[in-house]
Amino acid sequence: MRIPIAAPDIGQDEIEAVIETMKSGWVTQGRKVEEFENSFAQYCGVKYGVAVSSGTAALHIALASLRLKTGDEVITTPLSCVATTNPILYLNAKPVFCDVDPKTLNIDPAQIERRITPKTKAILPVHLFGHPVDVDPLLEIAERHGLPVVEDAAEAHGAKYKGKRVGAFGRISCFSFYADKAITSVEGGMALTNDFQLAERMRLLRSFGMQKQKKFCHPILGYNYKMSDIHAAIGLAQLRKLDKYILRKRKNIRYLKEKIDNSNLTLPGEQRYAFNVYYVCHVLAEKRKSKIVKYLERNGIETRPLLSFIPEQPPYRRYGYNASECRIARDAHQKGFYVSNSPLLSTKELDYLASTLNGASSEVK
């Protein structure tokens, strides 16, 4: 048996949506993109959506719309996909890393305030692996210091904090629709905001800085980050399935927790304030992680490292970060890995995954 990390659920609905769009005679950014923007923004409880070509592009236009400049600082997590922080570097600003909460692996609000300096211009939390950040204390700090919050919700479609969907808390929030996400448009992303002026500026930025009403008039420097109607059509078909996917993912984790009896392995949990959508099944191994991962791979279970400990990535080393300041994140990265939590996993596959994880520690002694 082989269990890959991700297997997108592309079926007849998505195929028909693409065919319909192809037959319409309009395949680039158009009415389908606008429909996807409106539908996804409404789902998250936000007024405006700006669809783009990737989650990274969404973060880039979000931060650019806040007019970050050279030398500005953005407080964020050290434990994420490097796509979270690369847009900060694109704008010649500097990421300032804040350690994570050991229970959720999300940025720890209790440590944010002491990272704030006169150069701080934004806070960029990540709802890692679908578990919401503890939002209230983070927003209190941001409001006290007059700082905008940009939510990276790339892995958290449908997740909730105290009953409210993530993406509705920050000045801007950003999502990814890459093929391994909860829903996919194959490639794509979206920035959400309740601020009309920010939405308009992000629309300018995604399309060469060109005004919609005046073709080839470029009041600002922009990018080519547009989404096509074909991708949006797939995204709309997927959006209709999102709540079903979330229920299945939550059921998978409950099932695995009942089946796995291995004191060396810690599976993801859920804080009282959270509705976790369990983007993947991430695991922390107290001992022998590398041997456990090799054992899983030999037995057909694909794994991935626990994303990146970003301060140690080569483009970030020039800033001279002190890794000991983010000890919890670094320790989690060294101990952690993840396996699939696809909504398509069968009971037979879940049983195989559980039995292999149970057997991993004893086999690698």
Q: What is the pLDDT of residues 333-344, one digit of tens each?
A: 999 999 999 999
Encoded amino acid at 1, one letter: M
Average pLDDT of the residues of the chain: 96
How would residue 216 be classed by pLDDT, with cut points 50, 70 and 90? confident
Q: Is the pLDDT of residue 364 over 80?
A: no
98-148 pLDDT tens trace: 999 999 999 999 999 999 999 999 999 999 999 999 999 999 999 999 999
Q: pLDDT at position 42, please?
A: 98
The residues carrying an active-site annotation are 181
Domain extent listing, the chain = 12-239, 242-363
How would residue 211 be classed by pLDDT, with cut points 50, 70 and 90? confident
Which of these, 78, 73, 195, 184, lies nearest to 125 by C-alpha position?
Answer: 78
**pLDDT > 90: what percent of the chain?**
92
Q: What integer is the mean pLDDT of 286-306? A: 95
* CATH code for the domain defined by 12-239: 3.40.640.10
Q: What integer is the mean pLDDT of 238-242? A: 98
Q: pLDDT at position 284, please?
A: 97
Q: pLDDT at position 365, please?
A: 64
Q: Going by DSSP bridges, is the β-strand pair 120-124/73-76 parallel, antiparallel, or unpaired?
A: parallel
32-59 pLDDT tens trace: 999 999 999 999 999 999 999 999 999 9
309-341 pLDDT tens trace: 999 999 999 999 998 999 999 999 999 999 999
Q: pLDDT at position 214, please?
A: 81
Which of these, 292, 313, 312, 308, lies nearest to 356 by C-alpha position?
Answer: 292
How would residue 215 be classed by pLDDT, with cut points 50, 70 and 90? confident
29: left (phi over 0), alpha (psi -120 to 50) or beta: beta
Q: Is the pLDDT of residue 178 over 90?
A: yes
> What is each CA distance from 248 to 15, 217, 277, 352, in whole angstroms?
23, 48, 9, 17
Fold of 242-363: Aspartate Aminotransferase, domain 1 (3.90.1150)
